Structure 1
């Protein structure tokens, strides 16, 4: 009987080892499908801001020196924004052509084409540019109304 008892021990030990390793275990599962929805939010554009300063040239006079103005376009937005162009006019803050009321107007001045250094401005970034301004010599027309005036420039970025 001792031989049989040893054989039973081996069978029990072998069965326990197979179950521990995963032998003889069966797995079952269900397959399934599903769907869902979600959303994301986009931002919006933020208007550029523009500042300018005279960087060279003397006081304007009929047919006299040209002034060069440097302007800076700032992107206060949270993403990259494309700057296609900057237009400059001798105009008030609403963009209406300027007239001093004393005989001087936007017709007395000529602006050059603005030059830019960048077309895509990152969030919080800037782009610089220049533009020239000259007082026209309007032959035969008294331009005394343009003495000692501050000429307003209106910048529009697009």
Structure 2
């Protein structure tokens, strides 16, 4: 029994010494860096225009603009420029709309935000027969800088 006691004491001493070495460490200093690139783009603004039906030669109609921003950060609408197209044989050069300075920030995730400034779509009254524009669909293709 005396031998068993010596073995137990030796085993316990080994465990204590072993446990002490498990918590040993070296002290030192350190340095380093970390980096990641930002997004190259946050998407684009989707612009919409609306104006009344029934425009006739010599007339004009107000145009309102709205914007959607599906991105994850705010985006800026600068000047809205419109390109006019017309269905059928209607001459789109008879229609004009000047660029409209907005300079408005559209919040992330916003939809249907009415832009501050509107435009005016005009239909020129020329000496030519403009019957080709009767019932034509006029489309404004919008862009912003």
Q: Secondary structure at the match of 1:51?
A: strand
Aligned length: 116
Give runs of aligned pairs for residues 1-158 of structure 1, distance below 5 A.
32-43=28-39, 44-54=41-51, 59-64=54-59, 66-91=60-85, 98=86, 100-102=87-89, 104-116=90-102, 118-125=103-110, 126-128=113-115, 129-139=117-127, 141-158=128-145
When the two chains are superposed, the root-mean-square deviation of aligned CA atoms in Å is 2.3
TM-score scaled by length of structure 1: 0.63
Can you list the C-alpha shifts for 1:120-155, whole angstroms capped at 9, x where unaligned?
Answer: 22212335141111110112x111101111111101
Please tell me whether the aligned partners of residues 78 and 101 of structure 2 are also in contact (alpha carbons under 8 angstroms): no
Q: Secondary structure at the match of 2:118?
A: strand
Q: Bigger CA drift: 44-53 or 148-157?
A: 44-53
User: Take 2:68 and 2:144, find their aligned partners in 1: how far apart are those partners?
Assistant: 10
Deviation at residue 45 of structure 1 after TM alignment: 2.0
TM-score scaled by length of structure 2: 0.68
Deviation at residue 31 of structure 1 after TM alignment: 7.9
More strand by share: 2
